[in-house]
Amino acid sequence: MGQQEYEEKLDDVMAYYKNIREALGGLAEIININFNEKDFYHQAAVDNLKALHDNVVEVLKASFTPREIRMRLREVEFDEKEAEKVFPL
């Protein structure tokens, strides 16, 4: 695989990640609308969405060289500030 093909693949993976993050955010909004924040099911759902999000990031880290992923994750980490609003720690 050439460098250009490899970078295109990395771009595709990053686009998939952004789509997944948006979908998780949408699910979080649905959960927030349907469950009281003190409800066990609300907290369980949010915990599971956060775990799913974290695992997607880990898969992304394992898919490419550390340097490549570090460069891309800088962009992602900036966006994580928004994700943390949806998936509070």
- Find the domain containing 52 and state its range: 3-86
Closest C-alpha to 86, from 18, 39, 16, 30: 30
**Tens-digit pLDDT profile for the chain (89 aa)?**
677 787 788 788 888 888 888 888 888 889 989 888 888 999 999 899 889 888 887 877 777 676 776 677 677 766 666 666 666 65
Give the count of domains, the chain: 1
pLDDT at 44: 92
Q: Angle, nearest 10°, between helix axes 40-63 and 3-34?
A: 180
Any alpha helices (H) in 1-89, and if so which ranges? Answer: 3-34, 40-63, 66-86
